[in-house]
Copies of this chain bind each other. A is one copy, B any other.
Amino acid sequence: MTTHTETPPRPQVPKRTEELDEVVIRFAGDSGDGMQLAGMQFTNETAVAGTDLATLPDFPAEIRAPAGTLFGVSGFQVNFSSHDIFTPGDNPDVLVMMNPAALKVNLRDLKPGGIIIADTAEFTENNLKKAGFATSPLEDGSLAKYQVFPVDITQMTLRAVEGLNLNTKVASRCKNFYALGLTSWLFTRPIDPTIRWIEGRFKKTPELVDANIRALKAGYHFGETAEMFAVQYEVKPARLVPGKYRNITGNSATALGFIAAAERAGLPLFLGSYPITPASDVLHEVASYKNFNVYTFQAEDEIAAVGAALGAAYGGAIGICTTSGPGMLLKQEMINLAVMVELPLIIADIQRAGPSTGMPTKTEQADLLMAIYGRASESPVVVLAPATPGECFFMAFEAVRLAAKYMVPVIYMSDGYLANGAEPWKIPKVSELPQIDVQFRTSPEGFQPYLRDPETLARAWVKPGTPGLEHRIGGLAKEDVTGHVSYDPINNEKMVRLRAEKVARVAMDIPRTDVRGDPSGKLLVIGWGSTYGALVEATERVRAQGKSVSHVHLRYLNPLPPDLKEIIRRFERVLVPELNTGQLLKIIRAEYLVDAKGMNKIQGYPFKVGELMQKIQELLEE
């Protein structure tokens, strides 16, 4: 443990503490300023302090865009509260801005009367110009309606680490921790988790441990002592369901979900992947668990990645691949083969904004129709989507379970917002996770490769290496039961329908659909995937106004929950908000012949609760 006594004790100015129910803070600066880190650490602090929370990281596609530019601004928003919350918040209460460009980009979102903490050192003429400010907003009175705290963060940081023999470049890189320290003080968050994190992260370079902790503490103490800050805010712990919690991002939860499922199936996990934003972190995390029975294979491309996963599945492993939109397109031919040979295969599509390269670091949920229909010929697969970062764990687990149970490919659809967003997660007990019961066929007695389980229609999973069960599979049309190559017309139709029926039977595994709000009424809002939080909050608030709106959130997109039809019937109108131009909407309309309306946003960002409420209210008033 490193201790610091370098900061001289200062006279304590008496401070007032105000209690708040919910606060939204956005950190922003250059891509190189470490804002993602600051945001993540703040998140962790407030998680440990027991609040509920939700986050929205927002970074450019450039690795380190030139300093001071508008397109180089990297931001991280965190919402924390003493009550249940579901979104990172529409508009921040606080902006922690490391330069003029950050302020320029983020100011429009700040709530009236909101707080701005700005690093004055960066408000140079040059930087102001790059950001398109004629004069400094910190000085020209344009920020009058906000509470502005100008702090020379850079200078203070340098001073804090003085004597550690760091060059200025390295030293000033600690300023994100200074800003974090200050913010932590302002909102009475504990900084110990961050100190522990710094110690772990920089283990090999003790001078950086020292420097960063000093900067953190200096920021914290500055808040304590500087007269500028008269009020300190407190957000009380939320009354979450009792249990042990940690903070988790969607990608982390996805990785753990896959590992947990393979463990519960007692099978090795084979993850074939080709790096792509925002999916890569799943590969990174899984790769770090090599002491499990985990193979990670960074392939030469997405085709090889899914091919290797299918090869591993054929060999009896849990075969998974992770990718995003452009990579998904390359996998479809192999998924079609998996459909034909009826092997379990899990394909995780962490959706991003497109089409084509699009906005790789931004979110969207526009791959749904591609996942369901994007293969040549009739090629049914199971499609699932988690609704929150923590839920990624359970749906990833479920994807593996269903794939193995039905011998079918499962597409698991997360997105950029879930992937990088975080929330407190009630850690499940391993013993409470379902067992995944895989029975490899070993008996040659009456064996036929396409004999089916009468209930699930799954064919048997046979591991090569099993004596007496030698057989051949492939992508040509196959005869029922024997699996021999067959061009018989009637047989072909039969097999097409059997494959469809097998996927349809997954409906047996879908839990009853939960309707939030009244079971019948005026308006039903149907959502899927990462819009969950915003939809919950919007519908709850409108309901709180005494209006009739309920909410159903789909985790099973193909097949659809069998009770959905009945639920829809009980409402006068249906609204389907999506971060696309109306994909689930098309399915709902075709399936249930209901004149459902879409609400659509294709901006690379999640819905805001406000805009959803407005749309819902409009529909209710029509």
Interface residues of A (CB under 8 A from B): 60-61, 71, 324-326, 328-330, 332-333, 336-337, 339-340, 351, 353-359, 362, 364, 366-367, 369-370, 373-379, 474-477, 487, 489-490, 492-493, 496-497, 500, 580-581, 583, 586-587, 589-591, 593-595, 601-605
Contacts and interface: CB of A to CB of B under 8 A. Distances in A.
B493 A603 contact: yes
Contacts of A326: 333, 336, 376
Given A333-B329, A366-B377, A492-B603, A71 B487 contact: yes
A173 to B, nearest CB: 25
Q: Work out how many copies of this chain go into the complex.
A: 2
Given A375-B374, A377-B364, A340 B356 contact: yes
Nearest to A583: B373
B355 A581 contact: no
A329 B374 CA distance: 8
Contacts of A328: 376
A578 to B, nearest CB: 11
A42 to B, nearest CB: 24
A373 B375 CA distance: 10
Contacts of A500: 581
Nearest to A356: B475
A599 B469 CA distance: 39
Given A366-B376, A603-B489, A336 B355 contact: yes
A359 B337 CA distance: 13
A97 to B, nearest CB: 19
B376 A476 contact: no
Contact of A359 (B353, B367, B487, B583): B487
A390 to B, nearest CB: 26
A604 B378 contact: no
B60 A487 contact: yes
Contacts of A71: 487
The 3 closest A-B pairs by CB, nearest first: A354-B377, A325-B376, A489-B603
A358 B580 CA distance: 33
A319 B373 CA distance: 26
Given A329-B333, A487-B71, A379 B354 contact: yes
16 contacts: A325-B376, A329-B375, A340-B356, A340-B357, A354-B379, A355-B378, A358-B476, A359-B477, A362-B492, A370-B374, A373-B374, A373-B583, A493-B601, A497-B602, A500-B581, A586-B590
Nearest to A581: B378
A68 to B, nearest CB: 17
Contacts of A336: 326, 329, 354-356
A231 B324 CA distance: 69
A61 B333 CA distance: 19
Tell which of A356, A359, A492, A603 has the most Cβ of chain B within 10 Å: A356
A110 to B, nearest CB: 17
Contacts of A369: 369, 373-374
Contact of A329 (B329, B353, B603): B329
Contacts of A474: 357
Contacts of A356: 333, 336-337, 339-340, 377, 475-476
Contacts of A601: 493
Contact of A330 (B330, B364, B493): B330
A490 B359 CA distance: 13
Contacts of A489: 362, 603-605
